[in-house]
Structure formats: C-alpha cells, structure tokens
Chain A
Amino acid sequence: MIQPHDSVIVRTLGHIVIPVAQLFGVYVLVFGQYGPGGGFVGGVVIAASMIMAILIFGIGSEDSALAKKILHGDGLGLLIFAGVGGLCMIGGGQFLNYSNLGIPSLDESSQHYVGILLTQLGVAVDVAVTGVSIAVSLSFEEDEISQEEVTHD
C-alpha cells in the first residue's frame, strides 16, 4: 500500500507539477492533429500525472480525487470511440467515415478534424483509465480502496 508522502517539498512541488503535466497531456492530445502526439501519448501523460497524485497524496486524499473517480470510467473511452463511429453510420456512411459525422454548418475537412479529435479523446480517456487502474491494482488491495472511501466520506 502506498502511504501519502510527508515531505513538504514533495507535496508543494506536486501541487505545481501535476496541473502542468495534465495541461501538457491535453496539449499533446490536441497537437496530435498536426504533429507527433495524439490520443495514446496524451492519455499516457495524463495517466502519469494522476499516478503522481496518488504517489504523493495517497489514494484517499482530496488532491488525488480525480484519479480515484476515473477508476469507475472503465470503457468510457471505448464508448466515445464507438459512439463517434456510430454517429458516422447514422449519418449514412461507413463506420468512422467522418464525412458523414452529421454536424451541420461544417465543411468536410472540419468534420474530419472534429471526428478525429473526438476519437482521439476517447483513446486518451481509455489509456488514462487503464494506466491509473494498473498502478492502483498493483499497489493496493481491493478492500483498501473501499476502506479509504469509508474513512474519508
């Protein structure tokens, strides 16, 4: 089980570094449209920031609340991905054919842009959830997480 870190330096730095890391993760995700990056890498960076929060503040702390909440998001990213693909099918095209995304007042290339961004968002969410779940399941017992929940609620 991971104990919250008691060093002031680590905790203060954590408060500074974690938001920056998360912002960077979102940047990598969006930048993936034009250059290196994308959903997978962005998701990994976001997951790393949340794992860092768990390591520094412990799983039950308020500062790592997002990391704990995200554990319930299994499969959410897949649903986003499949949902975007499904929208394209409802629009009359093939699965993931973004031209048929069906957003009015957008030309075809913008529809492709939005479609890819949304699917990449799905990928990022899924990778982040998986990353955090791996870290949590390797370091905590099942009942420890729920116990923490009880003590902090």
Chain B
Amino acid sequence: MSSNLPILLFLVPFFAGVSMPIVTAKRRALCSRIALGTAIVMVVLATLNLRVVMTQGPIEYALGGWTAPIGIAWLNDSIAAVVVLTVSVVTLLSLIYGRLVVTSDLEKNVPYYTLILVMVSGLVGIVFAADLFNVFVFLEVAALTGYALVGAGGGKALVYAFRYLLLGSFGATLYLLGLSHLYVATGTLNMADLAVRLPELMTSTAVAGGLIYMFLGLSIKMALIPLHSWLPDAYTNAPSAVTPFLASTVTKVALVAWIRIEYSLIAPNVEVSAVPVLVLLEELGVIAALIGGALALIQTDLRRMFAYGGISHIGLILIGVSLGNDTGFAGGMFYLVNDAIMQAALFMIIGTIIYYHKAYTLDDIRGLGHHTSPWLTGALIIVAMAMVGLPPTGGFFGKWNIVLGALEAEHYLAAFTVVASTLLTLGYFLKVFAAWFLQPQDVEIQSIEVSNSIRLSLGVVSFAMIALGFMSDFVVQFLLQSVSSGGI
C-alpha cells in the first residue's frame, strides 16, 4: 500500500472533487464537509508519504506497471514529499479559514469546492511528475482551475481572471513548445532519461531554445518579474476565501517544476554560447527579488503589497537554487516551503481584516492594533518576522543558507540581493506596523472577537513558521537527500 501513496495523494482530492457534484446533488451543505474531510485525509497521507521517503529514500512510481523510459514515471523523493505535505497542510488551513470568509454565493456554488480539490490534485501531480509532458498536463489542470477560482467571485475579478487566463495559456503554450524541441532532439520526455542524453547536445540551438521556451513558460506561471503582471491584480480581486490557497501554492509549485527541470537537465557550469546558464538564472532571480521588493514598498493596498512581496520571494528562491551548490539549493528549497506558509498566513490575515474591519489599504488599518483581536496582531508580528527573516522563524534559516551558498560560490551580488531584499521587506512591514499601531483620527473602531476557525488557522500557520525554524537543520538535510542521490 505504501508504494501507492503518490497516486493516492493525487486520486483522493481528484476523486472527491469530481464526484462532488454528483454526491451532493441533493444536499449542498455536505460540500464543505467533504472538502474538509478530503484535505484531512490528504494531510495524513502526505505525512505517511514523508515517513516512507525518510525511511526508504526516493521511490520511482511506474504508472500502469510500465517502468520509465517506456512508461510514465512519478518520482517520490524528499522534495516531492515535503512540498506535497506543505500543499496539503495549506489546503486544509485555507479550507478551515474559508469557513468564515467564504461568501454565500461562493458557498452555494458546488464548483467552488470541486475546483479547489481538482486544483490540489493538479498541484500534487506537478510535484510528483518526472516526465516533462506530465508536468504540462498537471500544470494545465492546476491553471484552468486557478483561472476559475480567481474569477469565482464575479464582478471585476472576471476581467483579471481572463487576463490571467490569456497569459497563463500563453505560458503553457511556450512550455509545450519547449518540451517538443527537447523531444525532437532526444526522443524522450522522461527527465532522468533526458539528463543522460542532454549534456552532449547542449551546443544544439534546438535544445537551448527548448530550455529557454520552457523557462519562459514556467516564468509566467511562477510570476517571475518581468512576467508577473497577472499576479497582483488577480490576487487583489479574487475572493478572500481562495487567495491564501492560490498565493501559497500556484507560483511555488510552478517553481518546483522548474527546479526539477533545472536540476536534472542543466549541469552546474554548463555554458551555452559562452553564457553560463545558471548564473543567468541567478541574475534573473536578483532582478525579480529587488524589483519585487521595491514595488511592494510603494503599494498602499495591502493585498497588492503582499502579492509583490511574494513575487520578490520567487526571485530569492530562484537565486538559491541557481547558485550551483548544495547549501544554496537547500536554502532555496527550504525558503520555498516557508514562503508557501508565509503567503498563506499573509493573505489569511488580510482576508480577516477585510472581513471584520472592511479595511483594504494602509490608511484603513490605522489604529487597528489597539482594538482588533490579539490573534491578528500576533500573527501579523510573527509573519513579519518570518518575511523579514528574523530567527527563530524559518524565513531566517532559508535566507541564511542562500547567503552562505552565495558566499561559497563567490557570487557577491546574490548575497547582497538577499540582504537588500530583507531591508526592502523590513521597509514595507514598517509601513504596515506604523499604520497598525498609529492612533486613528477620531474614527471609532469597534473591538472584535475573531471566530474559532480563524484562530485555529492563524495559530497553526504562526506555529508552523516558528516550528520550521527550529526544524530547519533537519528539513534542510532531508531536502539535500534528493540532490545527493543523483539528480532530482
């Protein structure tokens, strides 16, 4: 049974999501319970899967009994196990949090829960897939449901969902174009098989072009600057119930897909027409981290500010994994897990503020700190510590490893960028806290008690951010297993 865990992790949300319209045709109220139950089962399965990978090492799962390269393979290694567990936990928390802020129109819509569950199954598929075309298929499953979720609230969100759809489809097309280049050049789509055949073909323009197309396609999906324009608008206008889930998973999982491709296909020190590929990727990360941070600093709408914060973190992770050494890679991957939790926490906090106080901008939250629930203030302080990167939160250890990796590789610009982006993050959180604790001018703010579901979700994410910090050494070593066992 334990060998079937990856496919079960995919099938459980998929089956629940697809059968939901049929099962709940008579009793719509069951939807949210089924979704919650599915998420709980997923967390249990993902934990079991993590244990299996810890004890047995990476496992290749051959779908249909056909082993790679003939059949389709899924790779269940430490990276997949950790990311899938993160996705499952974030899904569960978003659903618990969503119980309060979900609007009745959204709730009445069976598709809402179906979409979330099918999207989770797509994300799980992306993480496990060890085959370029499989990644494309699941990328589309996750993306199509993502467009629908952004537009689920109706109104202005539909425009931005449509824009996301246009850009996302363009990205998917580019990715498909890229993988077809590689297929023509090598005759295989399996990543492990490609890793064997590609190194001698690196001088071929078809291969280089294919890799560039694939990177561009995935850059749109992961919102890497300058291809990020869909993200802030989409997250600002999407329903509050879905933004924590979307913000913490979509871009991160697309980045995981790229990291798998990058690590199995592009060897360190490889150069294409005298351009060192990894350094180029790292510089793109530097640009994204700095510009993203700077753009976050000038926002007044909180959701836009944190959306740009997430964009700048994508750059940081890309820097970490492109340094070409284990320290940087582990730092980048660890930061990715942390960032998923931080983004979920940020958007949960904003959603709660919007729900209770109808506050959207920096001006609106003036003085909230004196009246609002201590749960909100506490969670905000912890998430700020994690975003800025203060110990003992996990964010610190991620950034620390990235800096160490950069110094080890003697890439001082990368090290500088991590520090500079930390300062930028500190800058925009100072703006938030300045407003949060400022006395408002003769506006009466009523005190509130947040509901239990919010307390639970905020409590767990805050705990997770600190717990990740304490477990950082263990998690980092575990993530490095994938690298040391010969390509991911």
CA distance A76 to B62 in the complex (A): 26
- Contact A76 B64, beta carbon cutoff 8 Å: no
Residue A63 at the B interface, CB < 8 A? Answer: no
Q: Is the CB of B18 within 8 A of A96?
A: no
Q: Is the CB of A96 within 8 A of B63?
A: yes
**Residues A95 and B63 in contact, CB atoms below 8 Å apart:** yes
A75 near B22 with CB under 8 A, answer yes
For A95, give its contact among B7, B18, B21, B22 (CB under 8 Å).
B7
Quick one: closest A residue to B7, CB to CB?
Answer: A95
Interface residues in B55-111 (C-beta closer than 8 Å to A): 61-65
Q: Which of A76, A79, A99 contacts B65, CB < 8 Å? A: A99
CB A45 to nearest CB in B, in angstroms, measures 24
Contacting pair B63 A75 (CB below 8 A): no
A-facing mask of B4-37, CB < 8 A → 1, else 0? 1001100100110011011001000000000000
Cβ–Cβ < 8 Å partners of B21 in chain A: 74-75
Does B64 lie within 8 Å of A86, measured CB to CB? no
Contact for A97 among B8, B22, B25, B64, CB less than 8 A: B64
Task: Choose one: A74, A94, A98, A99; the contact of B4 (CB below 8 Å).
Answer: A94
Q: A94 to B19, Cβ gap below 8 A?
A: no
Q: Which of A39-67 contact B (CB under 8 A)?
A: none
- How far apart are the CA atoms of A86 and B4 in the complex, in Å? 10
A130 to chain B, nearest CB (A): 13
Interface residues on A, range: 10 to 19
Q: Are A75 and B7 in contact (CB under 8 A)?
A: no
Docked pose: A93 CA to B11 CA in angstroms? 15
Question: Of all chain A residues, which has the CB nearest B20?
Answer: A75
Determine the interface band of chain B, counting residues with CB < 8 A from chain A.
10 to 19
Query: How far apart are the CA atoms of A75 and B17 in the complex, in Å?
Result: 9
Interface residues of A in 70-110 (CB under 8 A from B): 72, 74-76, 78-79, 82, 85-86, 89, 93-100
> Are A82 and B15 in contact (CB-based, < 8 A)?
yes
Q: Bound state CA distance, A78 and B62, in angstroms?
A: 20
Q: Which residues of B contact A74 (CB under 8 A)?
A: 21-22
Q: Are A95 and B11 in contact (CB under 8 A)?
A: yes
CB of A94 within 8 A of CB of B7, answer yes
Residue in A79, A89, A95, A99 whose CB lies within 8 Å of B19:
A79
Contacting pair A82 B11 (CB below 8 A): yes
Distance to closest chain A CB from B130 (angstroms): 14
- The complex places the Cα of A107 from the Cα of B442 at a distance, in Å, of 82
B19→A96 contact, CB < 8 A: no
Q: Are A75 and B19 in contact (CB under 8 A)?
A: yes
Q: Which residues of chain A are within 8 angstroms of B3 by Cβ–Cβ distance?
A: 94
Q: Decide: A93 near B19, CB < 8 A? Known: A82-B11, A82-B14, A85-B11.
A: no
- Give B10's nearest chain A residue, CB to CB: A95
Q: How far is the CA of A75 from the CA of B15 in the complex (A)?
A: 9
Task: Please determine whether A79 and B64 come into contact, CB atoms closer than 8 angstroms.
Answer: no
Closest CB-CB distance, A64 to chain B, in whole Å?
A: 22
* Contact status A89-B18, CB under 8 Å: no
B18–A75 touching, CB < 8 Å: yes
B64 and A96 within 8 A (CB): yes
B63 pairs with A79, CB closer than 8 A = no
Cβ of A86 and Cβ of B11 under 8 Å apart? Answer: yes
Q: How far is the CA of A117 from the CA of B3 in the complex (A)?
A: 26
Would you give the 0/1 interface string for A137-153, flagging 1 where the beta carbon is closer than 8 Å to chain B?
00000000000000000
Docked Cα-Cα span, A78 to B21, in Å, equals 13
Cβ–Cβ contact B4 & A89, under 8 A = yes
Interface centre among B18, B21, B22 (most CB of A within 10 A): B18
Residues on B with beta carbons closer than 8 Å to the beta carbon of A100:
65
Q: How far is the CB of B51 from chain A (nearest CB, A)?
A: 20
Tell me if A95 and B14 are in contact (CB < 8 A): no
Give the docked Cα–Cα distance between A80 and B22 (Å): 13
Residues of chain A contacted by B14 (CB below 8 angstroms): 78, 82
A72, B7: Cα distance in complex, Å: 27
Nearest-neighbour CB distance to chain B for A111, whole angstroms, equals: 12
Q: Which of B284-332 contact A (CB under 8 A)?
A: none
Instruction: Decide yes or no: A79 and B18 within 8 Å by CB, A94-B61, A94-B62, A95-B64 being known contacts.
Output: yes
Report the Cα distance A31→B18, complex, angstroms.
28
Minimum Cβ distance to chain B for residue A84 (Å): 11
A79 touches B15 (CB 8 A): yes
Q: Name, among A75, A85, A89, A93, the residue most crowded by chain B CB atoms within 10 Å (CB to CB).
A: A75
> Are A94 and B15 neighbours in the complex by a CB distance under 8 Å?
no
Q: Give the chain B neighbours of A75 by CB distance below 8 A.
A: 18-19, 21-22
The chain A residue sitting closest to B110, CB to CB, is A74
Instruction: Determine the residue in chain A with the shortest Cβ distance to B114.
Output: A75
A94 touches B22 (CB 8 A): no
CA distance A99 to B22 in the complex (A): 30
A85 to B64, CA, bound (A): 8
Interface positions of B (Cβ within 8 A of A): 3-4, 7-8, 11, 14-15, 18-19, 21-22, 25, 61-65
- Interface pairs (17), CB distance under 8 Å: A75-B18, A82-B11, A82-B14, A82-B15, A82-B18, A86-B11, A89-B7, A89-B8, A93-B65, A94-B65, A95-B4, A95-B7, A95-B63, A95-B64, A96-B65, A97-B65, A100-B65
